[in-house]
Amino acid sequence: MLELAILGFLYDAPLHGYELRKRISALTGHVRPVAESTLYPAIKRLEKAGLLVRATEPGAVAAPRHVLRLTDEGRLELRHRRAEPDERDITDENRWFAVLAFLRHLDDAPAQAAVLRRRMAFLEEPASFFYDGDRPLRAEELDDPFRRGVLTIARATSRAELTWLRDTLESLGG
């Protein structure tokens, strides 16, 4: 997810590391804060792979700063990761948000629709956080008000997302 966010934000515009970290943190929120000790090794990996380059530019007020830019290979890699997200990118909500945040960079409506249909299929599968054997439990079956709350909130979120997915797929013609 971190590499995807780096590629996606750099696709939008060249950024220096501090600004990139702020944007990634805003996307992932408090759930997955981005530490420098995580961000900079990821940047180095992408740079070593030829997906981004670093250039030194004069600072507006202070010392020179390193600005990161995507290479053509980086743009192709982002397109590939958007067109063919792995299963965890579809099923994990935070990873899904990273996919969704940069899906517009996949400028092919049928390919965008295919990704959205994968997420929709995942959300339409019966699931729960709580089970009776192999059977997923519904909120109405739980006596615990807190677990019932988890399932009620998750169901409302899923329904809202499914509505959005259907509307968006219709607008994409898919």
Averaged pLDDT, 104-123: 94
Instruction: Render the burial of 63-101: b for 16+ CB within 10 Å, e for the rest.
Output: eebebbebbeebeebbbebbeebeeebbeeeebbbbbbb
Average predicted confidence (pLDDT) for the chain = 88
- Tokens linked to 69: 């830019």
Q: Tell me: the pLDDT tens digits for 144-159?
A: 999 999 999 999 999 9
What pTM did the predictor assign? 0.82
Residue 1 — pLDDT band, cuts 50, 70, 90?
A: confident
> In this predicted structure, what is the pLDDT of residue 60?
66
For residue 174, what pLDDT is reported?
A: 59
At 96, which helix (H) or strand (E)? helix 93-102
Query: Percent of the chain having pLDDT more than 70?
Result: 94
pLDDT one-digit tens code per residue, 7-63: 999 999 999 888 888 888 888 765 566 777 788 899 999 999 999 999 887 766 667
